[in-house]
Amino acid sequence: MSADRGSFGEVLRRVRSGAALSQEALAERAGLSKRGISDLERGARLAPRLETVRLLADALMLSDADRQSLLAAARTVLLRLDGFEPTQRGLSTYQGRSRT
């Protein structure tokens, strides 16, 4: 089950459904609230904490590829909230310190 596209909430919903778990069952396995899972899936909570993503990935028993997809989706949200668009290639314009 590849979860490589979409927002964090979409990716989470896709992997949860693929694991045949309800929001309640996932919440119980991960030690989180059902409301928290619902908020993440609906986009009401935009930026999950890294530890929350890890708890979810462990509870879902994700493959390495799906775990990376879930982490990447969370990272994308955090970068956007910080004002950085992941599609920008800002590193290529880095000039470093000028020599005087």
Give the position of tokens 């919903």.
Answer: 13
Can you state the percent helix, strand and coil of the chain, rounding each to 5?
A: 60, 0, 40
Q: Residue 96: inside a domain, yes or no?
A: no
pLDDT(8) > 70 = yes
What pLDDT shows up at residue 94?
41
Question: Stretch 42-55: mean pLDDT, rounded?
Answer: 90
pLDDT interval class at 95 (50, 70, 90):
very low
Query: What is the per-residue pLDDT across 71-87, written as a single tens digit (0 to 9) for each?
Result: 988 887 666 655 655 45
Q: Residue 97: inside a domain, yes or no?
A: no
Q: Residue 40: inside a domain, yes or no?
A: yes
**What CATH number should be reported for the domain holding residue 83?**
1.10.260.40
Give the position of tokens 């993503």.
Answer: 53
Residue 39, both tokens: 């908020």
Q: Residue 27: inside a domain, yes or no?
A: yes
Q: What's the domain count of the chain? A: 1
Q: How far apart are CA 42 and CA 46, in angstroms?
A: 9
Q: Residue 15: inside a domain, yes or no?
A: yes
Q: How far apart are CA 96 and CA 61, in angstroms?
A: 42
What pLDDT shows up at residue 54?
94
